[in-house]
Structure 1
Amino acid sequence: MSNYSLSYIIRKNKMRKDGTCPIYARIEVEGDRVEFSTKRKVKPKDWVNKKQKTSESTEYLEEVNNYLDVIKVKALKAYNQLLLQDKLITAKEIRDIVTGKKIEVRKIIEEFEVHNRQIKKLVGTEYAEATYTKYERIKECLEDFIWQEKGQGDVPMREINLAFIQDLESHLKSEFDLSHNTALKYLDGIKKIVLKGFNNGWIDKNPFVNYKRREKKKIPTFLTDEELKAIQEVDLKGINRLQKVKDFFVFSCFTGLSYKDLKNLTYKNLREEDGEIWINTRRTKTKEPVRLILLPPAMKIYRKYEKQNPKYDDVVLPVTSNQNCNAYLKEIADLARLKKKLTFHVARHTFATTVTLNKGVPMEVVQILMGHSSRSSTEHYARISSNSVNNELQQLKTKF
């Protein structure tokens, strides 16, 4: 950084009646030089030019030094900011940023829109459509909060503080009826935009630093062996719409595929080896690879809907909309006399616990079958799977 420097000088030619002289800051970049008043003054006897600071013999002189340090930090930050943005760096440009003559006013909703447009461009390559939809929903909720609290459509990012974040959390829960953990996930999306502003120097501090984020632990809902059997055996003859959704749900219970992955499953994802059907795909959400064999209950459903001479991109199962599936699953649960609310999340959780971990499948294998990107996601199911713990203890007991 040899082309940049900041120094302080006292203007003795502008000495005041009380014997003090104004302190000026001098910025130099590649021979280009500008000077500006720091709005601080000092007597010549109290200025140590070699150290570029006052003698600190009084409280006022200590405050002057602290203020000069702040200017130095701001100037260096401005220099680095211009360097990062690949902009022309001049002494005047740095001075204007330090003195506030050139402050970039960035607004949170505007930046959110920029962010969401970038996400939309990458849908299908780096992001799923659901990710874009999620960020759009977060932006809408934030806009609603700003309108109700500020009476305007947007606010500068520098106006966001801890109180703003805490009030927003309450707004998400009360006005949009979001659960505690979902509200925190929405705030994570907003934090991403705020951090971008902080890292780019548009705001001086990160307002999320002192925000205490505490998730509430949730126990995933899954079916026991008896409940899964009740679903498989429920009589739905003559009710074709329910029979189909039941088949899709049971297929998910024995493969661990999410609703989206099930809906997108095509014949190109299947391979037959020695009479067995293998699924080779990637999770829509995490892009993690999934490779698993069709267990007998899933194989039975596959054969039921199997097409003759299918095309490469034909879907394996004619899955309907998620809204219809969930509505029909409620009817199925009632007919099977189950009190649990059935969703495809429940089917996936059932595969992780009842179908695999409880049957002694090692956690490392379940992680691969589920398409989890981290072991901690799979361990979550192991903690709630009391049967697997019981099985391990029974095996340990036989060794004594």
Structure 2
Amino acid sequence: MAGIPQIKIVFDRRKKASAVNPGTVEIEVSYNRERVRLSTGVAVLKQQWSGKEVVNHPQADHLNEQIRRVYDGIHEKMSSIASTKGEYDLSLLKKVKKTKLQGSSASFLDWLEERIDMRPVTESTRKQHKVMLNCLRDFGLIRFFSDLTPKNIRLWDDFIRKRVTAQASVHGYHKRLKPYIVEAIQFEKLESNPYDGMRISRGKSEGIKFLTEEERDRVEALELYGMTEKVRDMFIFSCYTGLAYSDLVKIKKSDVFRQGEDYCIRDKRMKTGMPYTIVLLPKAIAILKKYNYNLNLMSNQKCNDQLKIIANLASLHINLTMHVGRHTFATWALTKGVGIETVSKMLAHSNVAMTEKYAHVLQTSVIQGFGKLK
């Protein structure tokens, strides 16, 4: 006989806990040189853990009760997986690693992760929601439904502001959380909305950032090599097509077709599902051919990092990102006299009102009016 299983509480096994980053609390089961670890759904800062329990935490009693419930649940499970010979098969415990153990359903973050995975949104939007979830995990004070209080929401707001500076970005985190708060109330997991009576400002828009025709040509003329050249070409392709990063990286050779003398692409936007048809201008098709019709060359983040270098080389005083390419195409088309309804279709906007923001920036009608007066 190999003895009896050893069950213990383990904190911060991955050695990530600090004064600002939480460490996880797990239950470790050891038997016959085999180990299985199961999450308790609890994570606290280094100074909030002592011995085998949570301390110096506003919800310490609640979190310790959560840990005890999971610990007791595993003890009960052990008796059910023992064989008639008194031996234990820990592989049976592994099968319940991702299931809800007794009491763990009180974890708001586990529930939130499930709802994010189930939400009918695009993968790019789902990724943004996961960023919000990870921010909550790092914050550490909102773990359970009982933690969703106006005070903790305000403290989370302070925490977010240490990560991002723009008020619009701060507002974005709250905007992504709010629908799930409403769902939690509908599922009777919350009695009231912690955002009631609280207003999170959207902040002032910095306006649409775009390059003039001369600035775009300056970027295009740079002599670059390697990774920086690839990113510049992806950006210029966006300037000549109006395609967002998520749409241009999924182009395949089979998406391109001939219509008369023109090369065209017909597809649906990744973000909205809106269909679009574009004609590939000579410089755009040249870039596609250069990379064998595959522009999935770099992640969006790495592209934006390289574009900072490119902006400096081109003496541009703007925070250059891949999306600036789409804005550049829109404003370029309007200044060349393309009608706003046509530009709207080129960008696959769901309505013309979305396109009008470019005309507002350019004040196209005002400029045309003065042109007539001349």
Give the structure-1-normalised TM-score.
0.61
- Partner Cα separation in structure 2 for residue 335 and residue 156 of structure 1: 50
Matched, 1:165 2:153: yes
Contact 2:181 2:193 in 1 (8 A): yes
Listed as ranges, the gaps of 5+ residues in structure 1 are 1-104, 120-125, 308-314
Partner of 1:297: 283
> CA offsets per residue over residues 84-120 of structure 1, 9 Å max, x none?
xxxxxxxxxxxxxxxxxxxxx855323202213324x
User: Cα distance 1:268–1:303, how it changes in 2: closer, same or farther (>3 A)?
Assistant: closer
Matched, 1:156 2:155: no
- Partner Cα separation in structure 1 for residue 279 and residue 315 of structure 2: 31
Contact 1:222 1:350 in 2 (8 A): yes
Partner of 2:127: 133
User: Cα distance 1:206–1:358, how it changes in 2: closer, same or farther (>3 A)?
Assistant: same
User: Cα distance 1:234–1:344, how it changes in 2: closer, same or farther (>3 A)?
Assistant: same
Contact 2:266 2:277 in 1 (8 A): yes
- Partner Cα separation in structure 1 for residue 107 and residue 181 of structure 2: 10
Matched, 1:252 2:229: no
User: Cα distance 1:144–1:331, how it changes in 2: closer, same or farther (>3 A)?
Assistant: closer
Matched, 1:277 2:255: no
Instruction: Select which of 336, 343, 346 maps to 1:366.
Output: 343
Partner of 1:203: 190
- Partner Cα separation in structure 2 for residue 243 and residue 397 of structure 1: 44
- Partner Cα separation in structure 2 for residue 160 and residue 230 of structure 1: 51
User: Cα distance 1:376–1:142, how it changes in 2: closer, same or farther (>3 A)?
Assistant: farther
Output aligned runs, 1:104-115, within 5 Å: 107-115=107-115
**One-letter amino acid matched to 1:154:** R
Partner of 1:337: 315
SS in 2 for 1:271: strand
- Partner Cα separation in structure 1 for residue 367 and residue 232 of structure 2: 30
Contact 1:108 1:194 in 2 (8 A): no
SS in 2 for 1:356: helix
Contact 1:111 1:193 in 2 (8 A): no
SS in 2 for 1:154: coil
User: Cα distance 1:189–1:253, how it changes in 2: closer, same or farther (>3 A)?
Assistant: same
Partner of 1:389: 365
Larger Rg: 1
User: Cα distance 1:223–1:178, how it changes in 2: closer, same or farther (>3 A)?
Assistant: same
Matched, 1:328 2:306: yes
- Partner Cα separation in structure 2 for residue 268 and residue 166 of structure 1: 51
Deviation (angstroms), 1:395: 5.3
SS in 2 for 1:301: helix
Output aligned runs, 1:38-57, within 5 Å: none
SS in 1 for 2:241: coil
Contact 2:242 2:347 in 1 (8 A): yes
SS in 2 for 1:204: coil
Instruction: Select which of 198, 201, 206 maps to 1:214.
Output: 201
Partner of 1:19: none
Deviation (angstroms), 1:396: 4.8
**Cα RMSD over matched residues?**
2.5
SS in 2 for 1:254: helix
Partner of 1:91: none
What percent of counterpart residues are identical? Answer: 29
Contact 2:145 2:189 in 1 (8 A): no
Contact 1:259 1:322 in 2 (8 A): yes
Deviation (angstroms), 1:227: 0.6
User: Cα distance 1:114–1:302, how it changes in 2: closer, same or farther (>3 A)?
Assistant: closer
Partner of 1:264: 250
Listed as ranges, the gaps of 5+ residues in structure 2 are 1-104
User: Cα distance 1:219–1:273, how it changes in 2: closer, same or farther (>3 A)?
Assistant: same
> CA offsets per residue over residues 328-351 of structure 1, 9 Å max, x none?
333332332223232211111111
Matched, 1:191 2:178: yes
